[in-house]
Structures are given as structure tokens and as C-alpha cells.
Structure 1
Amino acid sequence: MMSEAMRAHALLDAEQLRARVRTTIDRFLARQTEVLADVSDDCAPLVRYVADLMSGGKRLRPAFCYWAWRAAGAPDEPAVVTAATALEFLQAAALIHDDVMDGSDLRRGAPAVHRRFAALHRDRGWGSDADHFGVSSAVLAGDLCLAWSDELYTGSGLHPVALGRGRSVFNGMRTQLMGGQYLDLLDQASGGRRDPGAVERARRVMHYKSAKYTVEHPLLLGGRLAGAGDRLLARFSAFGLPLGEAFQLRDDVLGVFGDSGRTGKPAGDDLRENKRTVLVALAFEQATGVQEKVLKSHLGDSALDAAGVDEVREVLVETGALAGVERMIGELLDRSLAALDDVDLAEPGRSALVALADAATNRTS
């Protein structure tokens, strides 16, 4: 008998969606290589480093978009896969810029894009500052990905009427993502402290920086492209928003407690970067004076070692913050799935969306 995990994997790979997304990415980037070659062969790393970054990833955003399209009763067709793949370029832009802002060294188990450009500078023995070159080049690479996301969406081959229906979601998603990222920067700048409003602010950052553009907006985009009515779109939102929050909460737990071999980033990077997550905010709410001192001394410490990470982990467990986040994930997942209970969704779209919910919350990377 097929296990639930095997069934979920099979549903997520139905229609060979992951392979089709990867093929779409590869073909699109091959065309962009030719475009930039007209500028100079020296531009090749701009595409190569983006291609390497995009060779990995869960493909959750295009999956939510595609399966919302199918759940709304629309048939499989190449054009919607292309439109959904545009979300992977938006994700690449967000990751590249996020790593620059956080000063991250690794992404998906490899050097972050700005680190790769800095290494290129050093290897070639160029003058000036290698790190500045790396950051500046990564900003350009991220900007290209943002532009490419729009180019891929517009040129997907879907009917202009369908693209017009989805345009407001596509545009709003990109703007709100940047707003959420700015809120994240503001919270990092505020430093570690006990603050009664910290949990609510952390959830607001999570809402706009991750939850909406990871799940809700891709669902709404797929639904609108398929011509779904207001009632179904409302259910997609009710399904997507709590699921997106649960996804990010799981990401926050993995950022501190995860296996770096699976997550692709060193354990504790969120602590070094002073990420004001719900997990951290809950710990500050319940911390004793001694525990608060531990948190303040380690959050934002770029040289935080494994022993320091273990000290923070201990506080997160002892204050009940970890258990609290796990409860929130379970409650949010239940609320998300309940939104699909009495709505008419086409198969295999419904089953795929349920499998995606499980994959987004019960994961180790």
C-alpha cells in the first residue's frame, strides 16, 4: 500500500510539473544568455550564477499556481506552466537580494550569489573592493530576475484576457513582497529586546514577506488565470494565508534547529542575522532575566559559534517558544485544510493542493 508520503510525492510530481518548470527555466535562461552575449561575453556570469541558484528549490510557488488552475477546472497546458514558472524568477530575485541584505554566505548549500561574484573578482585579480563588486553584481542579477519574471509571465502564451485577469495579483504580489522585506529590515535594525508587540510585528512581516507570495498569491494567480469566481478565490485565500504562515514558521524553526546538510544554510544563521521571527519573539515574551540576557548577547552576533547556537536553542525550548510555534503550525494547517472542506474543486487539483499543504509544513529542508 502506498504511504501518505509516497502519495504526496506522486501527486506533486503529477503532470511532470517539476521537470517542466525546470525545462522552462533552462530554455528561458538560454535565450537570455544570447541576449546578454550581444552586450559582452563578460556578462555570462550574470546568467550562469542565476541558473545555478535556480537549479534547486522546492518549486512550491509554481506548484500552487498550477494546481489552483487545475482545481478551478482548467486543463493542463504548457502556457500555464510557463506563467507559473515566472514565480520562480521572482523567488530567485528575492533570495539574491535577501542574501545581500543579510550578509549570508550560503544559499541551497552553495555560496550565495554575491559571494560568488566576489570570488570571481578575487580570482581574476581585479582592482578595487571584491566584496563591493560582489554585492553590486548580485543586485543587478536580482534585478534581472525580477524583470525576467515579468517577461516570462507576459510571454507565456496564455490568452491576453487571462493574463489581464491575473495581472493585478502578479503586480501586487511583487510590491507587497518588497514591503514585507523592508519591514524585516526594520525589525532587524531594532535589535533584540523584550517588546509586547514583537510577536504581532513578526507575524506581520511573515504575512507579507513570505505567506502571501509563497502560497496565497500563487493560488490566486492560478485561479484568476483560469477564470475562477469570487467564491473560489476567497477559498483559495482562506486556504493559502494560514498555510503560508505555517510554511514560514516551519522555515523559522529549521533556521535554528534544522540540519544544515538539508537546509543548505548553516544552523543559526537566522540568529546571527538577528531575524526577529515569531520563534524569537515568543522566547523574549517568556524569558527570565537570565534567559533574556542570553538572547540579547547572541542575537545579531555574526561570529556566533555552535556553542552559542546551542545556548539559544536551550532558551527557545525552555521558554516554550519552540512548542508554541509547533502548536501554531498545527493550528494554521488545520485552518487551511478546513477552507477546502465544502468547496467544489476539480481533481487532481484538490488532492494536489492537500499534498502541497503537507509538503509545505512537514518538511526538513
Structure 2
Amino acid sequence: MTVLDHKRLGPPALDVIPHPAALDLSAVRRDVDAALATFLEAKEQSAPGPELPPLIAQLRTFLTGGKRLRPLLCVCGWYAGGGEGDPSPAIRAAAGLELFQAFALIHDDVMDASDARRGRPSAHRALASAYTANGGPADRAEEHGLGAAVLLGDLALIWSDELLHGASLTVRSPEQVLPLLDEMRGEVLYGQYLDLQTTGRLSDDVDTAARVIRYKTAKYTVERPLHIGAALAGATPGVRPVLSAFALPLGEAFQLRDDLLGVFGDPRETGKSVLDDLRAGKATVLMALAVQRASRREMRSLRARFGRRNLNERDADVVRAILESTGARQTVEDMIRTRRDEALTALDHTPFPAAAVAALRDIAGSATARHA
């Protein structure tokens, strides 16, 4: 693996692992992609029957084009936690986190009835199309696609567990890693359930919307991958609060940006319709702020459109105008900037290798100033 340039930057500081010159995030992505490809190829070869490889092929397609944010953070956590030498345990765990994300997204698209993901048909839509293309009756296609997508997500979850447990067993202290995996899975499912409970309700409850962000995204997307990587490196539990001080505000900023892109983004870049969140009635911080500040007339407009499955582009323009006029959009932009700055400040006095800190700063910038 070629993740790091291992030239030293002079004598190491006391109690800090010697600093590598650079952490190549592009190389981390390539290594994770290679680990996923090798793993899925082995699963295809050992499939119990000819029906499974096409399902695996759909999973392979689904994995194409993701940001790989969780894997990158896992590997950064490994180096921040003192990892040196062969990073293969961190790469394997990072690949497992990407499979877990595939599970979460496939099921999320089923729950949200989303038609697209990453510029392609969502898994349940693709599986429905494949069913009819192979001679299945058209009147059963949607039902088949939903059922097959649930099973595909389950398969990704099971295989994620295989990769993550395999990685933890290669290190000296697996008992530090496995509880973090359990906590991560419980937290994200709690966040997903909170999201499900609040969806479709036009509410001014910013606190609950923020709690959804904390559990569905901040802890799952940023904090736990860093913790898991550090635990794989054998870092003491005392490292976790330092990582959390960076991770939680960054994770919140990441989701706030996602919420803005869900309404104001360019579908050619995001790969998803800007109508999906409004049609689903996502109870975001963005929407809660607008409800707090909307006039009576604006509230009537929101109630007539928010969460409507037949919402069209003209309706969406009306909602966007309210999000602008109430200042909700600008407030969320300000919140993103404040949280990004808080995350970056948390890195100013960490004991982590300079290369890991530089990589985390790069990730913070790209995660919050993105268009997709």
C-alpha cells in the first residue's frame, strides 16, 4: 500500500509517533476501493448459486462514486492514534465502514421512496428494472425491487460486519474496537428512527432536528470512524475526546451542508433530485428555522407544499423563496461556518502527527464547502 510518504520530518516530539511527511487521501481511496473489489470478487466466486452474483454486481455498482468520507476518517484516525507500519487493518475496517454505509443508504432510499442515488437509479429501482428485463411480470416489479433492495442492504450489513470484525481481530486490543462498532450501529439506527419519526411534520423544533443530525450523521459519519481507526492503532481511550472535539462540529456542518444541497443543489452534481427532501417532508434544521420565522402567508404556502408527493419545480421554487426570505438559508450557512471553524480550532493543539492533522483539515474543508 502507498498511503504514506514515510520521509521523516526531523526528531519526533516526546510521546508522539514520528511524523510522516504526508497522508495521501487519494491513495487511501484507491486502497479502500481495492479492498472492496477483492472482497466482493471472493464473494462472487464462493456464491452458493448463480442467482447471487447479479445481486453482488448491483452492490458493486452502488458502491461506485461514493465520497468515501468514513473510510478516509477511519484511516486518519489510525494515524492520529499512533498507527505506523502496515495500515491494512485500518484499510480493511475502512472498507467495512463503506459497506455499512451502503446498507444504510439502500434502506434509506427504500424508506424515502427515492428514485436516484449518485446519479443512477436507486437500488430498489435498479433491481425492479432488472426483474422485468429478465422476464418478471411488470405488475410485480416494484414489490420485487423493494424486497430485493432490503435483502441487498442486509447483505451489505452482514459483509460489513465480516470485514470490521476481521480487521479488529488482527490488532492487539480487539476489545477496544468491537464496542465502538456496536455503539456506532446503535447510534445511527437511533438517528434514522428519529428522522423517520419527524419526517412529514412541519415543525419549528430546531433542537430535535439538531438531535437527528447528531446521531444520524455527526457521530456516525465522523466521530465513530475516527474512534474506530484510533482503537485499531491501539490508542488509549483518552484520545477519543480529542477526536470528538473535531468530529462532532464537523459532522454537524457536513449534514447542514447536505440539507442545503437537498433543496438548493444542482442534481447534475449531487446525483439526486432537489425535490426529494421536500416531497418526503424532511424535518431539517433549515426547515425548522424557516417555520420559526415565517409569516402567516408563508406558513400557508409551506403547509400547502411541504411533504406533498406531487410537489413540482414551481412549488419547490416557492419553498426556496421562503427559505431565503426568512433568512433560514443564510443562518444555516453561518452555522456551517461556525462549526467548521470549531472543528479546525480543535486541531490546533492536538498531539497527532502533522500529516494526520493536515489530512483532517483537508477533509474538513471538502466536507463543508462541497457541491455534491
TM-score by length of 2: 0.90
The match for 1:6 is none
Q: How does 1:160-199 map to 2 (within 5 A)?
A: 160-189=171-200, 191-192=201-202, 194-195=203-204, 198-199=205-206
Work out which of the residue numbers 135, 139, 143 in structure 1 matches 2:150. 139
Unaligned stretches of 5+ residues in structure 1: 1-9
Q: Which protein is richer in helix relative to its size? A: 1
Contact kept, 8 Å, 1:67 with 1:353, in 2: the verdict is yes
Contact kept, 8 Å, 1:176 with 1:208, in 2: the verdict is yes
How much does 1:61 deviate? 0.2
Work out which of the residue numbers 68, 84, 88 in structure 1 matches 2:94. 84
Work out which of the residue numbers 282, 285, 295 in structure 1 matches 2:292. 285
Q: Give the distance between the partners of 1:261 and 1:205, measured in 2 at CA.
A: 27
Q: Give the distance between the partners of 2:281 and 2:298, measured in 1 at CA.
A: 16
How much does 1:167 deviate? 0.8
- Distance verdict in 2 for CA 1:157–1:326, change over 3 Å: closer
Contact kept, 8 Å, 1:249 with 1:278, in 2: the verdict is yes
Between the two proteins, the alignment pairs up a number of residues equal to: 350
RMSD of aligned residue pairs (Cα, Å)? 1.7
Which consecutive aligned stretches of 4+ in structure 1 deviate over 6 angstroms post-superposition? none
The match for 1:4 is none
Q: Deviations over 1:266-287 (max 9, x none)?
A: 1121111111111011110100
Q: Give the distance between the partners of 2:284 and 2:25, measured in 1 at CA.
A: 34
- In structure 1, the residue corresponding to 2:51 is in which secondary structure? helix
Identical aligned residues as a percent:
43
Unaligned stretches of 5+ residues in structure 2: 1-20
The match for 1:313 is 320
Contact kept, 8 Å, 1:94 with 1:142, in 2: the verdict is yes
Work out which of the residue numbers 237, 244, 262 in structure 2 matches 1:237. 244
The match for 2:355 is 348
Q: Give the distance between the partners of 2:273 and 2:22, measured in 1 at CA.
A: 31
TM-score by length of 1: 0.92
Deviates more, 1:350-359 or 1:102-111: 350-359
Q: Deviations over 1:30-74 (max 9, x none)?
A: 1111232x2x21222221111001011111101111011112221
Q: Deviations over 1:245-267 (max 9, x none)?
A: 00000000000000100000011
- In structure 2, the residue corresponding to 1:201 is in which secondary structure? helix
The match for 2:5 is none
Check if 1:27 corresponds to 2:27: no
- In structure 2, the residue corresponding to 1:129 is in which secondary structure? helix
Q: Give the distance between the partners of 1:15 and 1:205, measured in 2 at CA.
A: 31
- In structure 2, the residue corresponding to 1:155 is in which secondary structure? helix
The match for 2:51 is 42
The match for 2:79 is 70
Check if 1:300 corresponds to 2:311: no
- In structure 2, the residue corresponding to 1:97 is in which secondary structure? helix
Check if 1:222 corresponds to 2:229: yes
Work out which of the residue numbers 130, 135, 138 in structure 1 matches 2:141. 130
- Distance verdict in 2 for CA 1:11–1:139, change over 3 Å: farther
The match for 2:278 is 271
